[in-house]
Amino acid sequence: MPQSIRLDPTILVIFGAGGDLAWRKLIPALYNLGLDKLLPERFAIVGVGRRPLPVADFRVRLRQGIEQFSRRPLANEELWRRFADNFCYVSEDLADHASGEALAACLAEIESAWGHRANRVYYLAVPPGVMAPAAAMLQRLGVCRDCIHDRLVIEKPFGRDLDSARELNGFLGGLFAEAQIYRIDHYLGKETVQNILAFRFANSLFEPIWNRRYIDHVQITVAETVGIGDRGDYYDQAGALRDMVQNHLLQILCLVAMEPPISFDADEIRNKKVDVLRAIRPLAAGEIHRAAVRGQYRKGQVLGEAVPGYRQERKVSPESTTETYVALMLHIDNWRWQGVPFYLRTGKRLPAKVSEVNIIFRSPPHQFFPSAAVESWQQNRIVIRIQPEEGIGTRIQVKQPGTRLLLGTADMQFRYREAFKAPAPEAYETLLLDVIRGDATLFMRADQVESAWQVVSPILEAWEAVPPADFPDYPAGSWGPEAAELMPARQGHNWLQPSEPEEE
Ligand code: BG6
- Interval 61-101: pLDDT, tens: 899 999 999 999 887 788 888 888 889 999 998 878 778 99
Q: Which of 243, 245, 324 to mutate to test the pocket of ligand 1 (most atoms within 8 A of CB)?
A: 243
Which residues are bridge partners to 43 per DSSP? 10
Closest ligand 1 atom, residue 427 Cα: 14
- How far does the centroid of ligand 1 lie from the alpha carbon of residue 415, in Å? 23
Mean pLDDT across the chain: 92
313 lines ligand 1 (CB under 6 A): no
Task: Tell me the C-alpha distance between 463 and 57, whole Å.
Answer: 45
Mean pLDDT, to the nearest integer, of 464-477? Answer: 95
- How far does the centroid of ligand 1 lie from the alpha carbon of residue 5, in Å? 31
Nearest CA to ligand 1 atom 5: 243
Nearest CA to ligand 1 atom 2: 243
Mean pLDDT, to the nearest integer, of 411-416? Answer: 92
Mean pLDDT, to the nearest integer, of 279-300? Answer: 95
Structure confidence at residue 89 (pLDDT): 94
In Å, what is the CA distance from 349 to each residue of 190, 297, 469?
A: 22, 7, 21
* Selection from 263-267, 285-289, 305-309 with the highest mean pLDDT: 305-309
Nearest CA to ligand 1 atom 15: 224
Rg (CA), the chain: 24
- How far does the centroid of ligand 1 lie from the alpha carbon of residue 189, in Å? 13
Return the active site residues: 248
Q: Which of 24, 155, 187 to mutate to test the pocket of ligand 1 (most atoms within 8 A of CB)?
A: 187
Mean pLDDT, to the nearest integer, of 325-354? Answer: 98
Task: Tell me the C-alpha distance between 146 and 13, whole Å.
Answer: 16
- Under 8 Å between Cβ of 246 and 452: yes
Mean pLDDT, to the nearest integer, of 376-396? Answer: 92
Closest ligand 1 atom, residue 235 Cα: 8
pTM of the model: 0.92
Nearest 10 degrees: CA dihedral of 350, 352, 355, 356? -110
- How far does the centroid of ligand 1 lie from the alpha carbon of residue 356, in Å? 14
Task: Tell me the C-alpha distance between 501 and 454, whole Å.
Answer: 33
DSSP 3-state helix, strand, coil percentages of the chain (rounded to 5)?
40, 20, 40
| pLDDT at position 212 over 60 | yes
Structure confidence at residue 68 (pLDDT): 93
Structure confidence at residue 371 (pLDDT): 87
| pLDDT at position 2 over 70 | no
243 lines ligand 1 (CB under 6 A): yes
| pLDDT at position 502 over 70 | no
Closest ligand 1 atom, residue 247 Cα: 3
Mean pLDDT, to the nearest integer, of 492-501? Answer: 80
Structure confidence at residue 311 (pLDDT): 97
Structure confidence at residue 501 (pLDDT): 41
Task: Tell me the C-alpha distance between 132 and 94, whole Å.
Answer: 10
Q: Which of 244, 252, 444 to mutate to test the pocket of ligand 1 (most atoms within 8 A of CB)?
A: 244
Closest ligand 1 atom, residue 226 Cα: 10
Structure confidence at residue 499 (pLDDT): 66
Nearest CA to ligand 1 atom 9: 244
DSSP per-residue codes, 26-46: IHHHHHHHHHTT-S-SSEEEE
Instruction: Give the rounded percent of residues in the chain with a pLDDT score beyond 90.
Output: 74
155 lines ligand 1 (CB under 6 A): no
185 lines ligand 1 (CB under 6 A): no
The upper half-sphere exposure of residue 38, i.e. CA atoms within 13 Å in the direction of its Cβ, equals 20
- How far does the centroid of ligand 1 lie from the alpha carbon of residue 260, in Å? 28
Structure confidence at residue 79 (pLDDT): 83
Closest ligand 1 atom, residue 231 Cα: 8
What pLDDT band is residue 488 in, cutting at 50, 70 and 90? very high
224 lines ligand 1 (CB under 6 A): yes
| pLDDT at position 293 over 50 | yes
| pLDDT at position 261 over 60 | yes
Contacts of 321 by beta carbon, 8 Å cutoff, 6+ apart: 296, 467, 468, 471
- Under 8 Å between Cβ of 226 and 359: no
Mean pLDDT, to the nearest integer, of 364-383? Answer: 89
* Digit-coded pLDDT (tens) for 147-188: 899 999 999 889 999 999 999 999 999 999 999 999 999 999
- Under 8 Å between Cβ of 189 and 430: yes
- How far does the centroid of ligand 1 lie from the alpha carbon of residue 162, in Å? 21
- How far does the centroid of ligand 1 lie from the alpha carbon of residue 262, in Å? 31
Nearest CA to ligand 1 atom 13: 187
- How far does the centroid of ligand 1 lie from the alpha carbon of residue 404, in Å? 49
Instruction: Give the rounded percent of residues in the chain with a pLDDT score beyond 70.
Output: 98
Residue 259 CA from chain centroid, whole number: 21
* Digit-coded pLDDT (tens) for 98-120: 789 999 999 999 999 999 999 99
438: left (phi over 0), alpha (psi -120 to 50) or beta: left
Structure confidence at residue 77 (pLDDT): 83
From the list 439, 434, 424, the residue with the least C-alpha distance to 191 is 424
Q: Which of 26, 248, 356, 426 to mutate to test the pocket of ligand 1 (most atoms within 8 A of CB)?
A: 248
